């Protein structure tokens, strides 16, 4: 154990004298002393362990787990139900901290990760919402892979665990949500694809052995969790009232993809209740869906202290013991917190839960650690054993962080002659705004310590002479220094304004109340633009969207960029885009609503679909037909892309099983919903949509081709929804063919009110940009 651990942020309260002592000891130690990883079955250090079945790597994992559980007393078992798991020294098992985070880089939120002199920081990729805007699955997977390499490297020197509670795959349902930044946006298809790519990037080993994990990922927060703290609604006590249809076609798909398609090692249940039951104590949601239907190979963990919340905040149970018993019986394996550790023994004694249920839970936890190699002895002698501090913050990983930010940045407005700025004509630049010289703001939440920062000012100043003014007294911008900012703007060739938020405005436990730029930011932007002589670029640094209608309509504001929270290399990426060294191709992963939207929609209303009787407008581009400031998928380029349809069927005929009830003629006439997707015969039908995409402009660029569909208007189906996307990179005048395989059952079905997925018969409209193609499905 290195003394350097004592300097981590989580130990900030440790006394000065400890630090001084530690400092002295560290200096007096030889410089080649390294901290070592935690692992069990150190057979070479303790030969007696070789006789334990759970340490024998040649045995099947299941047999090893059974052997291990069989050796533990009930008290010891209970020690493995919680995130700070106790060690059992007689068996050579060290204490283990389950809670590590890696949302967009190895993060020290949670206690499983520490930074030290040996590894002072890790690569901080853009916050997820910006990476999602790249719509590039290979980029997402590459980031996951870089993060897991850094994680393993830190584990090898005792600075990280192996179990990471990332990604967050909740749907960004309401624009005010403070944690929207952590998610891939509002669309279930994109969120599912993001989840699969990131989880694979984290988990998959180079050898490709599905029984091994590089690190264990965790999809959270299951489920229908996307209110933190809004007015008097708080996540600990919020009961999300969700109908089955929204559950099945909006909230559940990303989790299902995590488990079924990415083979994620863990799912975390949320704080909130769903339809009156705490998710962490709901046997249908946990054992029923995750474990039995989706066949999770791994463990289910609670959000931190949420078992306690079930009792203490929700009063769902009369006693702590009951809360612990109910959650274990529902299928929870690990409690993030200590509550289950404190009350499980009493729960067993009271007959609320038996020892075999506890065995089942800890077996899932142990099985995951087995796949990670935790019980295989010295990790230095295993796969990834040669990773170490040199592999953290590598040049390649830091370059990938810059590339990810470039690929995500979204160009929302660009008047002729504005961007890109030409350094030969723009000699002086004013860089104004509370985020103009941002550091920590760029990395959003669930962050670690980055390798370094390049601020927007530093990025821009590397190309032209740049003068900085923060414009506002702070992010909330209660006071704006209009005089100095406008004077500066009037004296330079161009202006870049960096506005938006930081974690004081949108964060976990902090939802927004409105969609306006904070305080006097709007006034500052407007006045600066008015005073400027040349191009004015407004860059919004934020997690969520804003009502910036004023800027959209202001001719003096010649360009608008959304830069998310762009990560440690944000300033480099922003400068690359502004000076045209990189042609932007990011697309919004969420709707930007007008302020009037949030004035009429309570955050607590979970319904995705509109309700004409109450005037409720519905949510996200799939159901909301009202006015937007910017729409899902918006994003321009410095070049122009055209689409042409090469091939798509006009008619798809389905064949039904002999036995299918829809063989009787009244099936079709009841409504236009066809066969259930669960029965195989009709589902096999597949066709291809082929498109030609051409870069019609004079510079290289990347373009995301979206294939949307509008199903027949039955069962309150979506206005349109995203079936597929593919990003292509094309040189000037270059063209490419993009092919999408469409599965009739998976892609052209709709979910009815009671959660059945059925093929909608009749006319489906396919959209690619402004291209529309009508397709008929008949039985």
Ligand X SMILES: *[C@@H]1O[C@H](CO)[C@@H](O)[C@H](O)[C@H]1NC(C)=O
706: part of which helix (H) or strand (E)?
Answer: strand 701-710
User: What distances in angstroms separate CA 266 from CA 83, 416, 536, 684, one per listed residue?
Assistant: 13, 49, 47, 30
Active site residue 303: yes
Q: Which is nearer to ligand X, 143 or 551 (CB)?
A: 143
The C-alpha angle with vertex 566 and arms to 560 and 570, in degrees rounded to 5, equals 90
Q: Which is nearer to ligand X, 484 or 596 (CB)?
A: 484
Task: Work out how close the CB of 434 gets to ligand X at its nearest, in angstroms, rounded to a whole number.
Answer: 5
Cross-strand bridge partners of residue 692? 644, 737
User: What distances in angstroms separate CA 100 from CA 113, 227, 280, 444, one per listed residue?
Assistant: 6, 23, 20, 17
Task: Work out how close the CB of 242 gets to ligand X at its nearest, in angstroms, rounded to a whole number.
Answer: 27
Q: Which is nearer to ligand X, 244 or 458 (CB)?
A: 458
Tokens encoding 340: 């289950």
CA 731 from chain centre, in angstroms, equals: 31
Q: Which is nearer to ligand X, 153 or 475 (CB)?
A: 475
Helix or strand or coil: residue 102?
A: coil
CB-CB contact of 512 with 178 (8 Å)? yes
Q: Which is nearer to ligand X, 474 or 653 (CB)?
A: 474
Closest CA to 737 of 646, 642, 633: 646
User: What distances in angstroms separate CA 432 from CA 463, 517, 590, one per listed residue?
Assistant: 17, 15, 26
Task: Work out how close the CB of 584 gets to ligand X at its nearest, in angstroms, rounded to a whole number.
Answer: 11
Residue entry with tokens 């900085």: 468
Q: Which is nearer to ligand X, 632 or 641 (CB)?
A: 641
Residue entry with tokens 């509002």: 186
Tokens encoding 468: 């900085």
Helix 137-156, helix 188-203: angle, nearest 10: 40
CB-CB contact of 613 with 622 (8 Å)? no
Torsion of CA 320, 237, 445, 628, to 10 degrees: 160
CB-CB contact of 274 with 242 (8 Å)? yes
Q: Which is nearer to ligand X, 441 or 628 (CB)?
A: 441
Q: Which is nearer to ligand X, 308 or 403 (CB)?
A: 403
In angstroms and rounded to an integer, the radius of gyration of the C-alpha atoms of the chain is 27
Q: Which is nearer to ligand X, 233 or 357 (CB)?
A: 357
Distance CA 124, CA 102 (A): 10
User: What distances in angstroms separate CA 426 from CA 461, 730, 772, one per listed residue?
Assistant: 12, 28, 42
Q: Which is nearer to ligand X, 132 or 751 (CB)?
A: 132
726: part of which helix (H) or strand (E)?
Answer: strand 721-730
Residues forming contacts to ligand X in the complex (CB under 6 A) are 136, 138-139, 142, 329, 354, 356-357, 403, 434, 437, 439-441, 455, 457, 468, 474-475, 502-504, 702, 727-729
Task: Work out how close the CB of 356 gets to ligand X at its nearest, in angstroms, rounded to a whole number.
Answer: 4
Distance CA 268, CA 114 (A): 22
Tokens encoding 353: 């839960």
Closest CA to 270 of 247, 244, 292, 302: 302
Long-range CB pairs of 420-423 (<8 Å, 24+ gap) are 420/577, 420/578, 420/579, 420/580, 420/638, 421/464, 421/494, 421/535, 421/537, 421/578, 421/579, 421/580, 422/579, 422/580, 423/463, 423/464, 423/579
What single-letter DSSP state applies at residue 772? Answer: E
Residue entry with tokens 């519905």: 618
CB-CB contact of 275 with 241 (8 Å)? yes
Helix 320-330, helix 339-349: angle, nearest 10: 90
Residues in the chain: 779
Q: Which is nearer to ligand X, 20 or 513 (CB)?
A: 513
Distance CA 510, CA 772 (A): 41
Backbone angles phi, psi at 678, to 5 degrees: -70, -30
Task: Work out how close the CB of 398 gets to ligand X at its nearest, in angstroms, rounded to a whole number.
Answer: 13
Distance CA 157, CA 148 (A): 14
Q: Give Cβ neighbours of residue 235 (< 8 Å, ≥ 6 apart).
A: 225, 227, 228, 229, 270, 271, 272, 509
User: Residue 537 burial (CB < 10 Å; 0-12/13-18/19+)?
Assistant: buried
- Beta carbons within 10 angstroms of residue 656's beta carbon: 16
What single-letter DSSP state applies at residue 7? Answer: G
Catalytic residue among 303, 335, 511, 747: 303
Q: Which is nearer to ligand X, 31 or 356 (CB)?
A: 356
Please list the active-site residues.
303
């Amino acid at each position: 154990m290195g003394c350097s651990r004592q300097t981590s942020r989580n130990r900030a309260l440790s006394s000065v004298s400890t630090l001084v002592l530690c400092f002295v000891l560290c200096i007096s130690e030889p410089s080649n002393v390294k901290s070592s990883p935690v692992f069990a079955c150190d057979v070479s250090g303790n030969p007696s362990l070789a006789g334990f079945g759970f340490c024998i790597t040649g045995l099947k994992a299941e047999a090893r787990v059974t052997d291990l559980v069989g050796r533990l007393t009930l008290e010891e078992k209970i020690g493995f139900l919680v995130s700070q798991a106790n060690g059992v020294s007689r068996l050579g098992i060290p204490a283990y901290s389950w809670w590590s985070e890696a949302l967009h880089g190895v993060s020290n939120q949670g206690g499983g990760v520490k930074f030290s002199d040996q590894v002072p920081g890790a690569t901080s990729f853009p916050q997820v919402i910006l990476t999602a805007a790249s719509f590039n699955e290979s980029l997402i997977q590459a980031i996951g892979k870089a993060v897991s390499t850094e994680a393993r490297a830190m584990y090898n020197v005792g600075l990280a665990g192996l179990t990471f509670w990332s990604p967050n795959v909740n749907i960004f349902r309401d624009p005010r949500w403070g944690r929207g930044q952590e998610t891939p946006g509002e669309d279930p298809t994109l969120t599912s694809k993001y989840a699969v790519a990131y989880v694979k990037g984290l988990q998959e080993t180079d050898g490709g052995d599905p029984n091994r994990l590089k690190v264990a990922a965790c999809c959270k927060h299951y489920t229908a969790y996307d209110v933190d703290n809004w007015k008097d609604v708080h996540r600990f006590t919020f009961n999300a009232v969700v109908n089955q249809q929204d559950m099945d076609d909006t909230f559940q798909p990303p989790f299902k993809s995590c488990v079924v398609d990415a083979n994620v090692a863990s799912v975390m249940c949320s704080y909130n209740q769903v339809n009156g039951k705490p998710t962490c104590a709901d046997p249908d949601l946990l054992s029923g869906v995750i474990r039995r239907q989706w066949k999770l190979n791994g463990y289910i963990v609670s959000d931190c202290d949420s078992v306690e919340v079930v009792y203490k905040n929700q009063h769902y149970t009369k006693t702590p013991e009951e809360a612990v018993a109910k959650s274990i019986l529902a299928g929870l394996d690990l409690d993030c917190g200590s509550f289950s550790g404190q009350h499980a023994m009493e729960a067993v004694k009271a007959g609320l839960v038996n020892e075999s249920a506890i065995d089942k839970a800890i077996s899932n936890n142990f099985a995951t650690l087995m796949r990670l190699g935790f019980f295989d002895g010295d990790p230095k002698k295993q796969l990834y054993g040669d990773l170490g501090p040199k592999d953290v913050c590598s040049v390649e990983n830091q370059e990938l962080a810059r590339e990810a930010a470039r690929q995500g940045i979204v160009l929302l407005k660009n008047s002729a002659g504005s961007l890109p700025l030409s350094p030969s004509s723009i000699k002086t630049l004013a860089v104004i705004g509370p985020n103009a010289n941002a550091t920590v703001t760029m990395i959003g939440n669930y962050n670690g310590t980055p390798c370094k920062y390049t601020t927007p000012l530093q990025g821009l100043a590397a190309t032209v002479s740049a003068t900085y003014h923060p414009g506002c007294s702070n992010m909330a911008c209660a006071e704006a220094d209009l005089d100095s900012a406008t004077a500066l703007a009037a004296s330079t060739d161009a202006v870049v304004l960096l506005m938006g938020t930081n974690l004081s405005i949108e964060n976990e436990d902090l939802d927004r109340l409105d969609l306006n730029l904070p305080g006097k930011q709007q006034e500052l932007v407007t006045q600066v633009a008015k005073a400027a002589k040349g191009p004015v670029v407004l860059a919004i640094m934020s997690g969520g969207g804003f009502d910036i209608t004023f800027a959209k309509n202001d001719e003096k504001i010649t360009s608008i960029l959304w830069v998310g929270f762009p990560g440690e290399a944000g300033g480099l990426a922003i400068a690359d885009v502004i000076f045209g060294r990189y042609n932007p191709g990011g697309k919004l992963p969420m709707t930007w609503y007008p302020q009037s939207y949030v004035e009429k929609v309570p955050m607590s209303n979970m319904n995705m679909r509109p309700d004409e009787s109450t005037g409720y407008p519905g949510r996200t581009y799939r159901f909301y037909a009202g006015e937007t400031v910017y729409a899902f998928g918006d994003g321009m380029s410095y070049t122009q892309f055209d689409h042409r349809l090469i091939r798509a069927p006009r008619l798809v005929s389905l064949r039904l099983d002999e036995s299918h009830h829809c063989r009787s003629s009244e099936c079709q006439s009841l409504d236009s919903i066809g066969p259930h997707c669960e029965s195989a015969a009709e589902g096999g039908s597949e066709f291809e949509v082929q498109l030609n995409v051409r870069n019609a402009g004079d510079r290289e660029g990347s373009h995301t081709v979206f294939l949307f569909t509008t199903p027949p208007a039955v069962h309150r189906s979506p206005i349109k929804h995203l079936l597929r996307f593919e990003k292509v990179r094309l040189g000037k005048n270059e063209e490419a063919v993009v092919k999408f395989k469409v599965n009739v059952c998976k892609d052209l079905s709709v979910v009815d009110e009671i959660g059945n997925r059925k093929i909608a018969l009749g006319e489906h409209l396919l959209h690619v940009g402004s291209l529309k193609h009508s397709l008929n499905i008949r039985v």
